[in-house]
Amino acid sequence: MGTFIQQVFNGLTVGGIYALIALGYTMVYGVMRLINFAHGDLCILGAFVGLTLLTGAAGSGHSGAVLLLAAFVLAVVVIAAAGVVLELVAYRPLRKADRLSAVVSALGASLLIENSIMLIWGPDVHVFPGDLLPATTWTVAGASITFVQVMIILASVLLMAALYLFIHHTRFGTAIRATAIDQDTARLMGIKVNRVILTVFVIGPALGAIGGLFVGIYYREAYFTMGWTYGLYAFIAAILGGIGNIPGAMLGGVLLGLFNAFAAGYISSSWQDAITFALLIAILLVRPTGLLGEPDAGKV
């Protein structure tokens, strides 16, 4: 029983991170029908920005909580700005071009960010300070649950709930949903579509930066190729839940984390990824639009 609960918490922690990152993919896809392949790298860029503040301010006398808060704020601001630049430079000029051009531009942006991280911070493994958060561990029915895990799960749930409320219960959220359904009609209704898209490129990368920084704080290491790994998992989570669908991305992320934990824990650690992705294929065969996706109903 303890082992089972432990695996659930293992899965939920990493699933929450996947979900936060997956939201960026799904929102951009929702309004633009574009897979933003640079998203994973933006998230890890967030981890590096936060790391720079944390290591730079080490020994400044501020408490761990203050430093962390500052790191999150800085990462969110920098990565949201980077998201806006990405949209203006790499995607907006290609808005009317065919889809493939935008995808290639996204792949190019991904490589650009990844290599920039390598050139700025170097190719080595970077280690996060370990004393920022209390090392408290709770034992629940034989399972060990740490403070960091609880913080990540709670913060992910809160952020996702806030996003859900924003999209469904504010005027701007309504504008985003309208843009997702039909850009031209939304424009006719007086919605400033470019502003909506820019907002999406602020919210997605900002959530991604938080996810990236969670990765750094949870595992205490960051290196420049990490964006690809996390981007891939989060992208799959978005597809699993139904790309373009916000609750779907949340569900997909959490399920992917749980699948992975159960595959490694109960079936075979060497086949862990193969089993996870076989399950993904099986779900997509039954529901081609993902778990919560609906055919052709443009949603965010």
Partner 1 sequence: MIWKQTAGAASAFAVLTCAMLVGVATASAASPIRFGVQAPITGPYADEGQGIEKAVRLLAEQQNAKGGLLGRQIEVTVCDDEGKPSQAAICARQLVNAKVVAVIGSYTSGAALAAEPIYAAADVLQTSDGTSNKLSEQGFKTWFGNAAPNSAEAEFTANYLVNVRAFKRIAVLTDHSSFATGLADEVIKNIAAVHGNVVEKAFVNADSQNFTPVLTKLKSLNPDVLYYSGYFSDGGLIRAQMQQLGMDAAFVGGDANQNVSFAKIAGAAAGGSVIVNVPAPQDLPYPAAKQFVADYKAKYGALPPSVFTLTNADGMRAILEAIEATKGTEPAALENHLHHLVDFQGLTGTFAWNERGERTGSPFVAFEVQADGAYKILYPEPAK
Q: Which residues contribute to the site for partner 1 (CB under 8 A)? A: 3, 6-7, 10-11, 13-14, 124-125, 127, 130, 135, 137, 139, 144, 146, 215, 219-221, 223, 225-226, 229, 260-266, 269-270, 272-273
Measured CA to CA, the distance from residue 264 to residue 14 in angstroms comes to 14
Complex with partner 1: residue 10 or 199, whichever CB lies closer? 10
Which two structure tokens, joined as six digits, stand for 48? Answer: 């590096």
Instruction: Give the CA count within 13 Å in the CB-facing half-sphere of 286.
Output: 9
Complex with partner 1: residue 5 or 284, whichever CB lies closer? 5
Q: What SS3 class is residue 140?
A: strand
**Smallest separation (angstroms) from partner 1 to the CB of 117:** 15
**Smallest separation (angstroms) from partner 1 to the CB of 157:** 19
39 and 200 in contact (C-beta within 8 Å)?
no
**Smallest separation (angstroms) from partner 1 to the CB of 222:** 10
Complex with partner 1: residue 58 or 88, whichever CB lies closer? 58
Contacts of 142 (CB under 8 A, 6+ apart): 1, 2, 3, 5, 6
Complex with partner 1: residue 123 or 288, whichever CB lies closer? 123
**Smallest separation (angstroms) from partner 1 to the CB of 27:** 24
**Smallest separation (angstroms) from partner 1 to the CB of 51:** 13
**Smallest separation (angstroms) from partner 1 to the CB of 167:** 29
Complex with partner 1: residue 146 or 194, whichever CB lies closer? 146
Instruction: Give the CA count within 13 Å in the CB-facing half-sphere of 121.
Output: 26
Q: Where are the beta strands (DSSP E) in the chain?
A: 126-127, 137-140, 143-146, 221-222
Contacts of 38 (CB under 8 A, 6+ apart): 86, 90, 106, 109, 110, 112, 113
**Smallest separation (angstroms) from partner 1 to the CB of 230:** 9
Complex with partner 1: residue 273 or 294, whichever CB lies closer? 273
Measured CA to CA, the distance from residue 1 to residue 42 in angstroms comes to 38
Q: Which residue bears the tokens 């424009």?
A: 187
Complex with partner 1: residue 172 or 266, whichever CB lies closer? 266
